[in-house]
């Protein structure tokens, strides 16, 4: 059975680590990959979109085939049709099942990998086992996020962890080349945002904040899934309307709880968000 990868792809979330990895590939500090693919979920922050557009042009100028793809459906369109795939918080304190990464990131990028390699997006014949090597931008300080691919023809790899790099190393690397530091990649309405993230959006991105507050109100009494019995759902894990939350107090309480605690990681493990 063949095991050597024929194609190498970077799963580009548009954030710090995956961007650093792509730049390293473009500049020869990592092997050159066949393509860098970003899938737009339709609701990134304006800061993210500006950064992604800048690096899209830069990476292509430096000889690295880089694309942004647009799934047929996105978060905004699905909200209009009351299809809610994000892990909004229920009154039990638990989130709904996270489906957004699969719907808007992983499935579209897998199909694009296949097309670039000369295969049909979904139909047979399929790539041979291990034909695609997928680079994911996790760093050493979040190694717990690693997971194996569910597709036999895809093998996940984490070059930054192999090099012993942390988020700070990625910042240092980009700054040493005079490049801008990307913001964290996450949708404006990601329910996994903590209080300090919402404070930043409220204070620095008023347009994004306004949209998040609007969506939070719209989702309040939605019925995302037939088996959800909670009367209300929320974007904010504090289980109050976003524009009524005491974000400063919640942020201070969270920081106090985390003093001396182990590094806290983001719940997502797909590698397309928060990287």
**Count: domains in the chain:** 1
Q: Give the pTM.
A: 0.87
- For residue 63, is it within any domain? yes
Q: Does residue 137 fall inside a structural domain?
A: yes
Please report whether residue 150 resides in a domain: yes
What is the spatial distance between Cα 237 and Cα 195, in angstroms, rounded to a whole number? 9
Structural domain includes residue 226: no
Band of residue 36 on the pLDDT scale cut at 50, 70, 90: very high
- Residue 44: phi and psi, rounded to 5, are -75, 165
Residue 24 lies in a domain: yes
| Closest by CA position to 104, among listed 191, 40, 148 | 40
10 Å CB burial of residue 83 (0-12, 13-18, 19+) is middle
Question: Per the domain annotation, does 225 fall within a domain?
Answer: no
From 98, 39, 97, select the one nearest 66 (Cα to Cα). Answer: 39
d(CA 237, CA 193) in angstroms, rounded, equals 8
Task: Give 190 or 143, the one with higher predicted confidence.
Answer: 190
| Closest to 136 (Cα-Cα) out of 36, 224, 262, 51 | 36
> Does residue 58 belong to any structural domain of this protein?
yes
Q: What is the DSSP letter of 38?
A: E
Say what percent of the chain tops pLDDT 90: 67
* pLDDT for the residue numbered 67: 98
CA neighbor of 9 nearest in space, from 154, 150, 125, 146 = 154
Task: Supply the pLDDT for residue 159.
Answer: 97
Nearest C-alpha neighbor of 224 from the set 39, 99, 72, 45: 99
| Structure-token pair, residue 172 | 């240092």
Domain at 151, CATH number: 3.40.50.620
Find out whether 182 and 55 touch, Cβ atoms under 8 Å: yes
Residue 161 within a domain: yes
Residue indicated by tokens 């957004």: 100
**pLDDT, greater one: 1 or 148:** 148
Q: Can you give the residue range of the structural domain that contains 106?
A: 7-82+97-176
């Amino acid at each position: 059975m063949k095991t050597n990868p024929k194609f190498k792809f970077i799963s580009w979330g548009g954030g710090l680590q995956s961007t650093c990895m792509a730049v390293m590939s473009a500049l020869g500090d990592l092997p050159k990959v066949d393509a860098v693919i970003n899938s737009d979920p339709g609701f990134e922050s304006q800061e993210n979109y500006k950064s992604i557009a800048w690096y899209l042009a830069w990476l292509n100028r430096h000889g690295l085939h880089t694309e942004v793809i647009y799934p047929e459906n996105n978060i905004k369109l699905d909200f209009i049709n009351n299809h809610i795939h994000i892990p909004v918080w229920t009154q039990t304190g638990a989130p709904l099942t996270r489906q957004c990464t699969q719907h808007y990131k992983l499935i579209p990028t897998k199909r694009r990998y296949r097309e670039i390699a000369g295969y049909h997006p979904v139909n047979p014949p399929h790539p041979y086992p291990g034909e695609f090597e997928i680079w994911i931008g996790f760093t050493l300080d979040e190694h717990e996020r690693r997971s194996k691919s569910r597709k036999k023809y895809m093998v996940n790899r984490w070059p930054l962890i192999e090099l012993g790099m942390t988020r700070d190393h990625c910042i240092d690397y980009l700054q040493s080349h005079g490049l801008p530091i990307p913001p964290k990649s996450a949708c404006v309405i990601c329910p996994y945002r903590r209080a300090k993230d919402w404070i930043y959006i409220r204070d620095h991105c008023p347009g994004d904040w306004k949209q998040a507050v609007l969506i939070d109100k719209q989702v309040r009494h939605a019925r995302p899934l037939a088996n959800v019995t909670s009367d209300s759902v929320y974007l904010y894990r504090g289980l109050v309307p976003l524009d009524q939350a005491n974000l400063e107090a919640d942020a201070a309480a969270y920081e106090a709880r985390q003093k001396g605690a182990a590094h806290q990681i983001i719940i997502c493990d797909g590698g397309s968000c928060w990287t």
